[in-house]
C-alpha cells in the first residue's frame, strides 16, 4: 500500500500543479525601456566594406528622419559590432516584419540607391559580409 501511495501522491501533485484555468498573461510594464541588441561578427577582411554599407544605411535613416541605432565597434573579442535599437512599443514592435519607421527608411534607401533592386542588392551585399550574428531582446529600467 505504501508503494502505491508513493506513486500516486507525486502523480496527483504534478497533475494539480500543471492544471491552470487560464494561460498566464504577459505583464505590461511602463517602468522599463525595451531594446534589441545584435552582436555581429564579420567575415575576415570585410569590416571596412561593412562600415561603408552601414554609412549608406545611416544616410537613408537621416534622410527619412528615422531613429538611428546606437552602435559600438569592438576592439577585442569574438564580435566586431554591437547594434542596439530602442523598441518604442516594447516587445510588440517585434510582431511586425516592418516597424512604422521601416517604410520611410526603405523609401529613402530606394531613392538613394536609384531602384528597389539596387536597395535589395545593398542589403544582400551587407548580409554576405556577416559570418555570424546574435540578436537578443533586453529591458532597461527608466
pLDDT per residue over 54-88, tens digit each? 999 999 999 999 889 999 999 999 999 999 988 88
CATH of the domain at 39: 3.30.70.100
pTM of the model: 0.72
- The CA-atom distances, in angstroms, between 115 and each of 5, 34, 81, 107 are 73, 33, 28, 10
In a domain, 19, yes or no: no
Whole-angstrom distance, CA of residue 72 vs CA of residue 82: 5
Residue 5 has pLDDT above 50, yes or no: no
In a domain, 51, yes or no: yes
pLDDT per residue over 92-139, tens digit each? 777 765 555 678 889 999 999 999 999 999 999 999 999 999 999 999
pLDDT at res. 121: 96
In a domain, 14, yes or no: no
Q: How many domains does the chain have?
A: 1
In a domain, 132, yes or no: yes
Amino acid at each position: 500500500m505504501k508503494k502505491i501511495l508513493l506513486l500516486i501522491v507525486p502523480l496527483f501533485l504534478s497533475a494539480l500543479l500543471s492544471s491552470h484555468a487560464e494561460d498566464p498573461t504577459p505583464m505590461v510594464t511602463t517602468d522599463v525601456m525595451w531594446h534589441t541588441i545584435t552582436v555581429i561578427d564579420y567575415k575576415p577582411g570585410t569590416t571596412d566594406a561593412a562600415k561603408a554599407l552601414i554609412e549608406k544605411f545611416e544616410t537613408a535613416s537621416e534622410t527619412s528622419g528615422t531613429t538611428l541605432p546606437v552602435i559600438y565597434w569592438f576592439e577585442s573579442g569574438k564580435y566586431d559590432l554591437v547594434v542596439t535599437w530602442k523598441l518604442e512599443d516594447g516587445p510588440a514592435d517585434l510582431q511586425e516584419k516592418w516597424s512604422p519607421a521601416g517604410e520611410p527608411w526603405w523609401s529613402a534607401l530606394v531613392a538613394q540607391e536609384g531602384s528597389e533592386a539596387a536597395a535589395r542588392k545593398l542589403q544582400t551585399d551587407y548580409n554576405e559580409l556577416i559570418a555570424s550574428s546574435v540578436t537578443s531582446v533586453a529591458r532597461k529600467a527608466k
